[in-house]
Amino acid sequence: MEPLAKALGLEIDRRFKADDVRSLANELRTKEHGKTILVCWHHGSMSELLLELGANPAKLLPNGAWPDDAFDWMLELRFDPDGRLIPKQSHRIKERLAE
């Protein structure tokens, strides 16, 4: 994340601990952040974060969980102006970085 943040001139927000999914989700839902937010999170907690954001992990991840060996995926979640998830516009992206 550091090279990307540096290239974009952004600071990395490290306030949230790996097990503090609820606080991160609350911050994302209740504060203005702009149009695009990139969240990098622990694979083991991704399903919980998706649930907190109103997404169904089973629709976005195999068996509802992020595999330990998947490092080239991104999840794109889209929300309407009122902050509600738009399931039909939310999906998993395989970047194919490891190929």
Q: What is the pLDDT of residue 33?
A: 76
Q: What is the mean pLDDT of residues 5-32?
A: 89
**Contact status, residue 47 vs residue 64, Cβ threshold 8 Å:** yes
**Contact status, residue 47 vs residue 67, Cβ threshold 8 Å:** no
**Contact status, residue 54 vs residue 85, Cβ threshold 8 Å:** yes
Residue 96 pLDDT greater than 80, yes or no = no
Q: Which residues are within 8 A (CB) of 52 and not within 5 positions of it... i.e. 6 or more apart?
A: 21, 22, 24, 25, 26
Instruction: Record the pTM.
Output: 0.84
